[in-house]
Amino acid sequence: MSRPSIAEVAALIADLAGLRQNPDRTSDEYAALMNRKADLLERIAARTPGDADAAEVARLARERADSLKSAN
């Protein structure tokens, strides 16, 4: 797994804000963004072994992203 960069985190935050402000967002756009978020959080957790909180946040994000995939 590649190391997450500050630029990736910043881009995700900007995209989250943009999607939140867009009333015409589609469920596919939302699901794709939640998948990106889960991927990034999993990579962060992988780089911080032993951090139970980071692992739990990543697990919950992946669970949510996966549930959105199956809903579409």
CA separation (Å) from 62 to 3, 20, 21?
18, 20, 23
pLDDT of residue 30: 92
How far apart are alpha carbons 57 and 63 in whole angstroms? 10
* pLDDT under 70: residue ranges of the chain: 71-72
Q: Give this prediction's pTM.
A: 0.87
pLDDT of residue 66: 96
pLDDT more than 70, % of the chain: 97
Q: DSSP state, 3? A: P
Q: Which residues does 34 contact at the CB level (< 8 Å), separation at least 6?
A: 61, 64, 65, 68
